[in-house]
Amino acid sequence: MALIAVAADKGSPGVTTAAVALAAVWPRRVLLAETDPAGGDLVYRSRAAHGGALDPNTGMLSLAATARRGLAAEQLWDHAQPLTGGLDVLVGLGSAEQAAGLAGLWPMLGQAFATLDESPGGAADVIADCGRIGTDSPTLELFAHSALVLLVARTEPEHLARVRDRAGALSAKLHGSQRGAAAALGHPPIGILLVTDPGHSVRIAGQVNDMLVGSQISARVVGTLAHDPAGAEMLSGRRRGRLDKSLLIRSARRITADVPQRYGVFR
């Protein structure tokens, strides 16, 4: 099993919504980890399985205290909480100031996330919501342990330019100086997840791939997630409706049916 890191460059492309949607339909048991150093959103967006609020002190905050004494992968479950619907989550930090408590622990967390398949308490993949990243983001230390890095982007020209540049910089950091076909063999692979109008998804995905090839950047579009505000509200429990019939979840299912096998995520 594997660690999937989900991140973005700038703006608000919907990293958390994308991570939750993918985790909700992931084909195997999964743990969703809010690892954004700026703080998590699920404690405000979602409800616990018991119907009440999620505990903001049980998750990445409590895990940081445990990890100071060393961390085994099975200990992750001690800090997880189930959402309504059964998805297990590690609730994110309450603020950017709390991220100081994780200083120096990110490689250890990455190792624990990547080896959760060995947990006697239940093997699982981990989808990590890393939020926005830059050259000095501490969550970059998780990426070396990932089976796949997904960069989420909207399709406005400025967003595509930024994700192209971020993918190039990230490839250089993770894969060294190799470019083009050689870098495409690097580990972990870098995928682009486009959030777009379903009616134009195929055309836009092709154009973005052409742009990446022309720039000799090894990242490729792995799929398109429907821009579906109503589905996002249903996913967070703010709106009633048939979530399984929403454009958001239907597009997430197509991604999770294809991407793990294509990128060798499942060991």
What would the pLDDT profile of 210-263 be if each residue is shown by its tens digit?
A: 999 998 888 999 999 999 999 998 888 888 889 889 999 999 999 999 888 787
pLDDT band at 101 (very low <50, low <70, confident <90, very high): confident
* Angle subtended by helix axes 157-175 and 201-214, to nearest 10: 50
Q: Cβ distance 187 to 2 under 8 Å?
A: no
Q: What's the pLDDT score for residue 1?
A: 56
State if pTM tops 0.85.
Answer: yes
What would the pLDDT profile of 138-195 be if each residue is shown by its tens digit?
A: 999 999 899 999 999 999 989 999 999 999 999 888 887 655 544 454 678 999 999 9
**Does residue 3 sit in helix, strand or coil?**
strand
For range 20-45, the mean pLDDT: 94
Would you state the torsion angle of the CA atoms of residues 193, 198, 200, 206, taken in this order, to the nearest 10 degrees? 30
| Both structure tokens of 139 | 């969550």
Q: Over 90: is that where the pLDDT of 199 sits?
A: no
Strand positions, DSSP E, the chain: 3-8, 30-34, 81-82, 88-90, 125-132, 148-154, 190-196, 220-226
Q: Tell me which amino acid residue 101 is.
A: G
Q: Over 90: is that where the pLDDT of 22 sits?
A: yes
- CA dist 130 to 37, 101, 250, Å? 8, 16, 23
Q: What's the pLDDT score for residue 198?
A: 81
For range 111-130, the mean pLDDT: 88
